[in-house]
Each structure stands twice: as C-alpha cells, then as structure tokens.
Amino acid sequence: MRSYRVWEHGAPTTMRVDELPDLVPGPGQMVVDVKAAGINFPDVLVVSGKYQILPPRPFTPGKDLAGVVRAVGAGVNGYAPGDRIMAQVENGAFAEQAVVTPEQSYKLPDGLSFEAAAAMGLVYQTAHFALVERGQYKRGETVLVGGAAGGVGLAAVQIAKGLGAKVLAGVRSPEETEAVRAAGVDAVIDLSMPDLRESIRAQVHAATDGHGADVVLDPLGADFFAGALRAMAWCGRLVVIGFAAGEIPTLKVNYLLLKNIAVSGLQWSDYRDRTPERIQQVQQDLFDLWRAGAVKPRIMRAFAFSELPEALDLVSQGKVQGKAVVRFGETE
C-alpha cells in the first residue's frame, strides 16, 4: 500500500510516497482501507515540524479519515470487516491503509459519503467542544466566529445555527462572505478593515444593538483576539482555538474584571485521550445535526492522492473555504 511519509520536516512537497507492506491489526486494533482523508491546519504544522506533538520520523501524517474496515484484531467488539467508518487519529491518515482503534472510530450513518465524513471529523469535533463545552453556549445567545469560512470556522457556524444561535461571521474577502452567507449567518464582520481592535467592536455592537457577543470562538489569534475581546457582552466567554493568523496574542487580565468576561482554551486531543466516551457522544450529536440538515460539510475541492501536497499547501495559505479532502481510489 502507498503512504505519504515525513522523513525530514519541511514543506508539504518534501513528503515521500513509500510502498509499504499491508498493515496487520494488533489486539484492540482495526485496519481500514482509507477512501478519503480530510486536510487540517494541524497537518501542515506536523509536516513542517511546528506542532506540539511530533512522532519519530519517518511517519505518516494525517488526522481525519473515512473508509472500510479491512480487518479487526483480537478483542475488538462492535466492528467487523466491511463496516463503513470514520476515525480521528494522531497520525496515519495519509495512506491507503490505516490502523485505528474502536475508541477513535464511528460507524457512518446511511447516506453519509466517505468524502463528507472525512470533512466532518476534527474540525466539527473541535467546533462543538469549543462552543458547548468550553464556551458554555446557551440557546439563543450570540456567537462570533473568527475565520468563519475556514474548516473549524464554518463547522462552528453550522453547529451554532443548528443549536439556535445568532451567528456573526468574521471573514476577510468576498469569497469568504459568500461561503458564510450560504451557511445562513445572521451578520458578516469584515476582518479586512484597518484597526481591528476598534472595527470589530463597532461592527458587532451594530449587529447586536449594543449587546455584544456572548460567545467568541477564536481560531485566528493576532489582532482578531483583541478586537473580539472588546466586542464581548457582559459575562461573555471567549475560547482560544488556535493561531492561524500567525501571532499569539497576550492579555492583560485586569480587563476580564471590567465586564466579568472569561477566556479559556481548547486542546481537543486532551478530551480524546481523557474522556473518549464524551468524544463518542459529541460525534453522535454531530450525526444528529447532519440528519437534521444543520451540518453540511462544505468541500471546496476533492483532491486526487497525488495532489495531497497541493491540498496541504492551500490550507497553509488560508485559501480553503470549508474543507479540502483527498480521495483514495474510488469513493461513494
């Protein structure tokens, strides 16, 4: 089977495609024939060597996959060869076969394609945990989403709308505006304006009659953080998800006292490792939102296996609205 592998950290084009023996499951493991893999910003960081968790080289990157169970190891219950599943792994998705565990895996609902499932993994889990667990969202509140046309951002928009929120979408271009309006946002916040520290607050207050945002989801950092902080409602909650804009912001904590606001962070993999049963429940909630039509993974483009480095490069440049997905052979 073919597998992309990182021998030396660098640009996506430095990965090699190696021919490896077919995988064999150990006890408690399954081998999956991968049909589609989702591309995430952390994948770019892993390949470049800038992620917080880096395995020994050479290794196969990739965190989101969907496919068909090929074989199961001893002690695996509830899964059998032929099952259609999706899985989130620390690494290993960018190959024609992958090893997963039942705790990392979810059976696909009828009608959910492999490509859509691969696009519905890490970003939707991240968005749900950020909004509900860390942001303590309550139905009817106003939610401001930074980078709202990106993978996590668009997932957060759809989930928040599905849970009854008024959603404000922070975007930087007409193309991103089109993507979030198609997702049904209530107002667009222009992040291309100068002095975001002031302009975000002015736009949010205009869209909420001065109330502000009850929950802010921030995958960007940089200047968005400062502007969003000033745009928060009394007792608002801001959740730090990442720093896709590049700069890690700082905070003078006395500002938190002025409006009784809270700032927290989300490291989704900690929930995966510490409370796998909670991850399973959230995935079922996401499947319910998909069945209800609220969650609709937006796949900007499905790439061929040979185009995987190009997909990573586009994600690294912030040029993907929604998700980029890589196909492995024939998919549904």
DSSP string, 201-265: HHHHHHHTTT--EEEEEES--HHHHHHHHHTEEEEEEEEE---TTS------THHHHHTT-EEEE
Closest CA to 276 of 59, 28, 25, 35: 28
Model pLDDT for residues 29-44, shown as the tens digit of each residue: 999 999 999 999 899 9
- Domain range list for the chain: 2-120+297-327, 123-269
Rg of the chain in Å (alpha carbons): 20
Cα 261 → chain centroid: 25
Compute the average pLDDT of residues 152-156: 95
Alpha-carbon span 251 to 213, nearest angstrom: 18
**pLDDT band at residue 331 using 50, 70 and 90 as cut-offs:** very low
In the chain, DSSP finds a helix count (H) and a strand count (E) of 11, 15
Residue 332 confidence (pLDDT): 40
Residue 48 reports pLDDT greater than 90: yes
Residue 108 DSSP one-character state: P
Fold of 2-120+297-327: Quinone Oxidoreductase; Chain A, domain 1 (3.90.180)
Closest CA to 57 of 21, 2, 8: 8
Closest CA to 30 of 118, 105, 80, 99: 99
**HSE (CB half, 13 Å, CA atoms) of 312?**
24
Assign 314 to helix, strand or coil: helix
Model pLDDT for residues 73-115, shown as the tens digit of each residue: 999 999 999 999 999 999 999 999 999 999 999 999 999 999 9
Closest CA to 43 of 33, 51, 35: 51
**pLDDT band at residue 330 using 50, 70 and 90 as cut-offs:** low
Q: Which CATH architecture has domain 123-269?
A: 3-Layer(aba) Sandwich (3.40)
Alpha-carbon span 67 to 38, nearest angstrom: 12
Residue 297 tokens, joined? 């993974």
Residue 226 confidence (pLDDT): 94
Residue 201 tokens, joined? 């607050």
Strand pairing of 299-303 and 84-88? unpaired
Model pLDDT for residues 279-295, shown as the tens digit of each residue: 999 999 999 999 999 99
Compute the average pLDDT of residues 44-53: 92
168 near 215, Cβ under 8 Å? no
Alpha-carbon span 204 to 166, nearest angstrom: 12
Compute the average pLDDT of residues 124-150: 97
With a CB cutoff of 8 Å and minimum separation 6, the contacts of 313 are: 11, 12, 13
| Inter-axis angle of helices 41-48 and 308-316, nearest 10 | 100
Preceding omega of 109 cis (within 30 degrees of 0):
no
Model pLDDT for residues 194-239, shown as the tens digit of each residue: 999 999 999 999 999 999 999 999 999 999 999 999 999 999 999 9
Residue 243 tokens, joined? 């720093």
Compute the average pLDDT of residues 234-262: 92
Closest CA to 5 of 104, 87, 98, 72: 98
How many other CB atoms are found less than 10 A from the CB of residue 306?
A: 10
Residue 329 confidence (pLDDT): 75
129 near 271, Cβ under 8 Å? yes
Cα 145 → chain centroid: 13
Whether the domain at 2-120+297-327 and the domain at 123-269 fall into the same CATH topology:
no
Compute the average pLDDT of residues 176-202: 95
% of the chain residues with pLDDT over 90? 89
